[in-house]
Amino acid sequence: MKSIKLFFLLSCAMVFGQTTVDTPSPVYNFPKIKSSITMPVTIPLSEISNMINASVKELVYQDDSYTDNNNDQFKVKVWKTRPIRLVGGTTQNLLIEVPLKIWAEKGIGTLGVYSYQNTTFETVMSFNTTVSFKNNWTIVTTTQPNGFRWVTKPVLDYGRIQIPITSLVEKSLKEQQEKFAKTIDQQMATQLNFQKYAVMAWNVFSQPFNISEEYNTWLKISPVGVNITPLKFYGNEITTNIGMDIYSETFTGSKPAASATVKSVNNFAVVPVLADKFLLQTTANVPFSEATNIARNMFMNKEYDVRGSKVKIKDIRVYGADGRVIIEAETEGYVNGKAIISGIPVYDETKKKIVLSATKFNLKTANILQKTATLIFKGKIVKMIEEEYGIPTQDLELASKKSIEEAFNKEYYKGLKMNGRVFNLKPGSVLLNEYGITAVIETNATLKLTLNGI
């Protein structure tokens, strides 16, 4: 039964089920990127068979009375001889075969005097079960008897007299088969409610997880909806596709606040088809405080020659204004003042950095400089910023790709295995907000979920 229950622990519990403990971070209003994850899900019918076999005892039925059923002078015991076998049908159904061994004893006589003889024989009981997965996270089955196939027919041997008792046995077994079919449906209806497991999986996402300790980078996933394709039945497995609509964010710096947990999950939507591959968009968020630290590590206390004199950068900070990144460098020496370089942030795939384009220069100083000196200083510092300054993303890209693939190829629960691959991961557009710089990271990947061995 656990195998079916874990089916919709998506993975999903899947990729994002790691947590770490850290001090609360400041609340940044970074933009959220809406995207989706699509993954094929395969359920071997052997797993459902294991669940059914576990719920059916070896002794299926027992009648120990000679006098019931209008004094029929008949006793019977029915055992399951081998595991119950399931085969996928063609119309969203399962064909179930139950191999049985039957012991029967019959009394022959009159006026209360009977001679008893027993026999043992085998048959295969068949069922046809239709399966539907309702969008309220429940599975509904309708099981109908589908007759018998005799392996050996029951005959009582009294020496010269041999009495076939097929009709007696079939009558009893048909009654039990009807009850058995109802039992199968009741068991599944009781135990196959996935709402609480969907809630568990959903709430796993409430905690961001660290994807790079070195760069203090956090991935936060906020699911908003689930799409599922109709179940498909094959000879030895059931397949479907799960699509999760999500908001994904990546933070650099302090651990972001967790999302609020939920107590129930809305109904999922049934869609005819979902793509095999998916594009996952996350956001790499760099607060201006981090961007400032990068600039200070690069340029603080550096000196530059301007017409034989020195200009030293004694402080620098990075902020945003009017859709542009502003780098404000405080200088001393030949030029005392503030050099302000602004530019539009873009991703440079060659440098693997977020750099500035369309730069502009402004100088605030009390010095009266010659026009030529100003131009020389402007040329040097602007060239320096354009060539050297950038927010590196290569290590973040490699670390993110590695951590995502590690998360995509794990067995989070015994028998619940995921296989995934990241084909490409790189920043795309770069956004600005009042708190920092946000790079949209595009990840092309595949993911597959398989249940086996639970």
Residue 169 is predicted with a pLDDT of 75
Q: How many CB atoms lie within 10 A of CB 38?
A: 20
Closest CA to 118 of 75, 170, 161, 66: 75
Residue 145 is predicted with a pLDDT of 93
Q: What radius of gyration, in Å, describes the C-alpha atoms of the chain?
A: 36
pLDDT of the chain along its 454 residues, tens only? Answer: 333 333 333 333 333 333 333 334 344 455 677 777 777 777 788 877 877 787 777 887 788 887 777 777 778 888 889 988 888 887 788 898 989 998 888 777 777 777 777 888 899 989 999 988 888 888 888 999 998 888 988 887 777 777 787 887 787 778 878 888 887 788 777 766 677 767 776 776 677 877 666 657 777 878 888 888 888 888 788 888 888 888 877 777 778 888 888 888 888 888 888 877 777 777 777 888 888 988 888 888 888 777 777 888 889 999 998 889 999 888 887 777 788 888 999 998 888 888 888 888 887 776 655 556 667 777 777 887 888 788 888 777 777 788 778 777 877 666 667 788 888 888 888 888 888 888 888 888 887 767 665 5
Residue 45 is predicted with a pLDDT of 83
Residue 25 is predicted with a pLDDT of 38
Residue 293: C-alpha distances to residues 299, 300, 390 (Å): 10, 10, 12
Do 45 and 257 form a contact (C-beta atoms < 8 A)? Answer: no
**Distance (Å, whole) CA 28 – CA 357:** 25
Question: Model pTM?
Answer: 0.61
**Distance (Å, whole) CA 424 – CA 380:** 37
Say what the alpha-carbon torsion angle 184, 187, 188, 190 is, to the nearest 10 degrees: 150
Helical packing angle, 288-299 and 371-388, nearest 10° = 110
Half-sphere exposure of 243 (CA within 13 A, CB side): 19
Residue 451 is predicted with a pLDDT of 62
Residue 46 is predicted with a pLDDT of 81
**Distance (Å, whole) CA 66 – CA 78:** 16
Q: Report the residue count for the chain.
A: 454
Q: Which two tokens stand for residue 99?
A: 């191999």
Long-range contacts of 258-264 (CB under 8 A, 24+ apart): 258/206, 258/207, 258/208, 259/205, 259/206, 259/220, 259/222, 260/206, 261/203, 261/206, 262/199, 262/202, 262/203, 263/199, 264/195, 264/199
Residue 378 is predicted with a pLDDT of 75
Residue 128 is predicted with a pLDDT of 93
DSSP state for residue 6 in the 8-state scheme = G
**Distance (Å, whole) CA 377 – CA 304:** 9
Cβ neighbours for 213, distance < 8 A, ≥ 6 positions apart: none
Residue 191 is predicted with a pLDDT of 64
Residue 144 is predicted with a pLDDT of 94
Do 287 and 252 form a contact (C-beta atoms < 8 A)? Answer: yes
Return left, alpha or beta for 69; rule: phi > 0 is left, psi -120 to 50 is alpha, else beta: left
Q: Which residues of 63-91 are buried (b: 16+ CB within 10 A; e: fewer)?
A: beebeeeeebbbbbbbbbeeebbbebbee
Residue 113 is predicted with a pLDDT of 76
